[in-house]
Amino acid sequence: MLALGELQAALSALGVRCVLARNHRLVLRYNRARSAPSGLTDPKLHILAPEGTRIATTDATAYRLDNGQEYSASDPAAAAAALSRRPH
């Protein structure tokens, strides 16, 4: 959440609207081995632009967009600048 929050703040400073979201998974069939456990899911940053919405995730080393683009998570300001210049 922290790394995506930093990207969100950097994008907001550039005038790019975005929403940080996370879901809570509720598993009712706890006796099935294939079911993931109940709990919070990985957060996603929804980047809203006139060209469309992109979804970013991170593992704290890189920001990954749903279209395959990756940016280093070590510099959220540089990633935000690159994202704001690129058409989605």
What residue segments make up the domains of the chain, in order of their start?
2-85
- Give me the percent of the chain exceeding a pLDDT of 70: 91
pLDDT band with cut points at 50, 70 and 90 for residue 29: confident
Class of residue 4 by CB neighbours under 10 A (exposed 0-12, middle 13-18, buried 19+): buried
Residue written as tokens 């809570």? 24
pTM of the model: 0.83
Tokens coding 13:
């400073």
Please give the Cα distance from 53 to 32 (Å, whole number).
35
Tell me the torsion sign for CA atoms 44, 47, 52, 54: negative
43-75 pLDDT per residue, tens = 999 999 888 899 999 999 999 999 999 999 999
